[in-house]
Structure 1
Amino acid sequence: MTVDTSIECHSNGVISCIETHTVGMPCRIVTKGFPRQTGTLLEQRCEAEASYDYIRKRILLEPRGHADMFGAVLRPHTESTASEEAHMGVFYIHRAGYSKMCGHATLAVSRALIDIHDPEIFPQRHLVKNDPITQTSNIILHTLGGLVKATVPTTSDGQRSDPSRPVTFVAVPSFAIATDLNVAIPQEYRWPELGSRTSVNVSLAYCSAFSCQTQLHELGFPPQTFQGGPVPFQDLKYAVSQLKKALGEPKYQKYFINPSTGESSSCFGVLIADKGLGQRSKGSEGVETGLYIFGDGVLDRSPTGSVSAARNAVAFAKGELGPGQSWTYHSLLSNTLKRKEGFTATVVRGEGRREIEEGGFAAGPVVVEVQCSAYYTGFHTFVVEDEDPLGSGGFTYGDLAN
């Protein structure tokens, strides 16, 4: 069958994207069509939220995307690209808004930048240096979480990425805020699986955003939940939403103070883990499989890069990992592949390990290196026809039930 790709379409809103996935979690990378911006990266993100948020909705939500779609907007002109401290600026987008940092998307964006040779999209491409011995190139991304260095495997001439080898990035510093913290669950926040228990044991960490880490059994779900068979996603999402409400109580606010800026924040996502489940990568000390639910209920298909770094920080605080030691993190999806397709996170260095008055530990900053592969799935040109009543923005069909 021959498909006519030269269809005429009158549109003033053409947006071009590179489509990728990292362990099944998509990243839609906007390369053209987003308005040109100036100022700092933070100013550009704020302007995007105030004036161009319809573009985020248009490219991530239905009918062009779905509720769990994720994206990245390339911003070539920031204060760090102007000073040549970074090759490219980027801010990350999801259905509920904007993220400072995202690991799975960083892996995808870094690989894509090696393959982009269009100076309009990537004006700093000529500054990327290739190591002919290791056949890798370093990409420095300017994210709202800080500067992030990624190492991308390449062909021998450095002109193309090599998908047969994984991409690596050094995450922004991670902090274990509190380990083994018993969080009280008031009656109004309880969920059915919790049974008669009145608290949940969690660890809290920060890596560009605050995450809560807990074990599957702590939420009241049986061990086999992640070991085959139907996964009760809606029940897990409800439990997570209730746990986040409990963490929002005033007595826990002291744990959500940004360790770098002192700003007050909240829990962005919850990682539910099954320790010991999965196939570990060579050289790893151990393995676990988990499900990360973030924002307003987004299910991460990947083991999630930033939270892998945060999990390493917690393991460092507990004395389970030291510098040079690694752990393999699987998602529910990568665990089904029965291959070493998870994230490998390695403690590069750490400091500040100490006991806290609640009985657990804290640590930070902890520098972690995260490794995994990212793959291309396609290339999109999105349009908006003037006659289309649903064209300019986006919607989430499931929200109609609310």
Structure 2
Amino acid sequence: MNSRPPPIPLPAGVGAIPLLFCIEMHTYGMPTYLVISGYPALTGTLLSQKATAQRDHDDIRRRILHEPRGHADAFGAILRPHTEHTLTKKAHMGVLYVHGHGYSTMCGHATIAAARFLVDCWDEDIFPRRREVVFHRESESVMLVLHTPGGLVEVVVPTVPGEEGRRVDVGRQIGFVALAAWAISTALVVDIPSGRRWGELECLGRDGVSVSLAFCGTFILEVKIEELGFSSDLFDAPVDFARLKEVTSQLKEIINTDPAYREYLRFPDREGYGAVFGAMVTDKTHGKAREGTKGAELGVYFFGGNHIDRSPTGSAAAARAALDAARGNLKAGDSWTYHSLPTHAFGLEGMVATVLEDGTGGRDRPGVFGPVKVQIEGKAFYTGYSTILQEDGDILGEKGFLLDELSGK
């Protein structure tokens, strides 16, 4: 497929760099650039492929996601058909997840997008194991197993008859079982040193912020918007996203660097310590509950280098469901609706999290609740197909840039 020309004349000097082919999709407004062909050959386990991608091919991540082509909050996924688990037929396809500042262990919105494409795709050069995907007549769906850096992820994709076989039923949500989620703390008070308190907090005369901390492949912080000193409204009141980025970045940095919080960042499922990757700012006053769910809420997720997720986010939704299970608000069989600004603004159904199994405790960690098994449901849509090339002499296209980071260079 790498020899297929783009729908424009190839400029002189392009041929030295292989073309990349992407399917462009979005999940509730959050984009996924799905690399389906043209990525350099990688061998070994999926984690070793990820390490090679980081070391030798990070320019490709920047070329796809950074400006001048992409933007600071873009997200991507790279299909890896040959991993240790696809070779033993434990998985149908491997996936590497990429964002503006690096690589993710798991991503819910990109998983939904990748699963939609793979079930619709009958090109065995792209998806060698497509004909091994089993159709379940009773549920009118197929089960797809994706090999992610965080582990194997089972995805249930609803289908209808198509020309070549089953294709995705866009009227129903795609569901996947998230990585195991753990509630680390439902009421962690973070002390903000006097020299690091932001203005909104100072105005309230407060020196601390109450947050919740969960783990679902990575550490995720949940905080109510009013706890940060802002209006308790993410939707009707004007939101200064630049300020929220600064504040959540400050909050994450304090937790990640202050020794007082180190024990909260010990992995609940293995040895070692991590760091808070994302902060979910919540608004409990907005959000329409989907039928069959116990309630709804609105949130904005700042992840990685403070990128803003346009979707309700799958991993963060699983983490929040684990927190509510720990609080006693959700039990096995209960569902909750999570909205992002786009789903709420357009009256969409939102992303649904269902607690399949709740936990009892984490290893030797008093107060840690988990593992909690959560199913996430959502929809993805196609927005385009692209051929990515690079011209000789195009320094900006070669290096990529994020406008917010150019100051001072």
* TM-score interval, normalised by the smaller of the two chains: over 0.9
> Which deviates the most, 118-127 or 304-313?
118-127
Measure how far apart 1:229 and its partner are. Answer: 4.4
1:297 lines up with 2:302 in the alignment: no
Tell me if 1:146 matches 2:154.
no
- Aligned: 1:211 with 2:217: no
1:259 and 1:120 mapped to 2: Cα distance? Answer: 39
1:120 aligned onto 2:125: yes
SS of residue matched to 2:221? strand
Match for 1:386 among 357, 374, 392? 392
Shift of 1:13: 2.7
- How many Å separate the matches in 2 of 1:337 and 1:121? 34
The 10-residue stretch of structure 1 (4-13 or 126-135) with the greater mean CA deviation from structure 2: 4-13
Out of 382, 399, 402, the position equivalent to 2:405 is 399
Aligned to 2:3: none
The residue aligned with 1:272 is: 281
Residue 124 of structure 2 aligns to a residue whose secondary structure is: coil
Query: Which of 188, 206, 214 lines up with 1:197 in the alignment?
Result: 206
Paired with 1:143 and 1:188, the residues of 2 have a C-alpha distance of 41
Kept in 1, the 8 Å contact 2:94–2:146? The answer is yes
1:377 aligns with 2:383: yes
| Residues 125 and 383 (structure 1), Cα distance of their counterparts in 2 relative to 1, 3 Å cut | same
Give per-residue Cα distances to partners, 1:5-54, cap 9 Å, x unaligned: 34233332310001010110001000011111110000000000000000
Q: Distance in 2 between matches of 1:297 and 1:13?
A: 31
SS at match of 1:181: strand
Which of 318, 322, 330 aligns to 2:327? It is 318
Hey, what's the Cα distance between the residues in 1 that align with 2:285 and 2:161?
38
Q: Residue 135 of structure 2 corresponds to which residue in structure 1?
A: 130
1:235-290, Cα deviation, whole Å (9 max, x unpaired): 10111011112212111011111112212110001111111411010111111101
Question: 1:304, CA displacement in angstroms?
Answer: 0.6
Q: Give, in whole Å, the separation in 1 of the partners of 2:110 and 2:129.
A: 20
Preserved CA contact (<8 Å) 2:231 2:237: no
Aligned-partner SS, 1:288: strand
Deviations 1:157-186 (A, max 9, x none): 543212121110100110001111111111
1:165 matched to 2:172? The reply is yes
Q: Distance in 2 between matches of 1:390 and 1:200?
A: 41
- The answer to whether residue 368 in structure 2 is matched with residue 362 in structure 1 is yes
The answer to whether residue 77 in structure 2 is matched with residue 77 in structure 1 is: no
Residues 392, 357 of structure 1: CA spacing in aligned structure 2 closer, same or farther, 3 A cutoff? closer
Q: Specify the code of the residue in structure 2 equivalent to 1:384.
A: Q
Partner Cα distance (1:381, 1:98) in 2: 22
Note the C-alpha offset of 1:357: 9.9
22, 27, 34: which one aligns with 1:22: 27
**Other structure's SS at 1:228 match:** coil
Give the distance between the partners of 1:362 and 1:320, measured in 2 at CA. 16
Match for residue 267 of structure 2?
Answer: 258
CA offset at residue 120 of structure 1?
1.7
Instruction: Give me the whole-angstrom Cα distance separating, in 2, the residues matched to 1:222 and 1:15.
Output: 44
Q: Distance in 1 between matches of 2:239 and 2:89?
A: 47
Q: Is the 8 A contact 2:361 2:371 kept in 1?
A: no
What residue number does 1:8 align with?
A: 10
Asked if 2 retains the 8 angstrom alpha-carbon contact of 1:276 and 1:286, the reply is no
Distance 1:102 1:5 in 2: 31
SS at match of 1:339: coil
Partner of 2:255: 247
Q: Is 1:36 aligned with 2:49?
A: no
Q: Is the Cα contact below 8 Å between 1:317 and 1:353 reproduced in 2?
A: no
Give structure 1 regions of 4+ aligned residues with deviation exceeding 3 angstroms. none
Paired residues, what number? 394
- The 3-state SS of whatever aligns with 1:391 is helix
Q: Write the letter of the residue equivalent to 1:170.
A: V
- 1:56 maps to what in 2? 61
2:341 matches 1:332: yes
Q: Would you say the 8 A contact 1:135–1:156 is kept in 2?
A: no
Unaligned runs of 5+ in 2: 1-5
Give the alignment's Cα RMSD to 1 decimal.
1.7
What residue is the counterpart of 1:188 in the other structure? 195
2:241 counterpart (224, 227, 233): 233
Q: Which residue of 2 aligns with 1:347?
A: 355
AA of the residue aligned to 1:325: D
- Paired with 1:110 and 1:267, the residues of 2 have a C-alpha distance of 27
1:285 maps onto 2:274 in alignment: no
Farther-moved stretch of structure 1 (239-248 vs 389-398) = 389-398
Q: Given residue 5 of structure 1, which amino acid in structure 2 is its aligned partner? A: P
The letter of the residue matching 1:311 is R
> How far apart in 2 are the matches of 1:5 and 1:50?
32
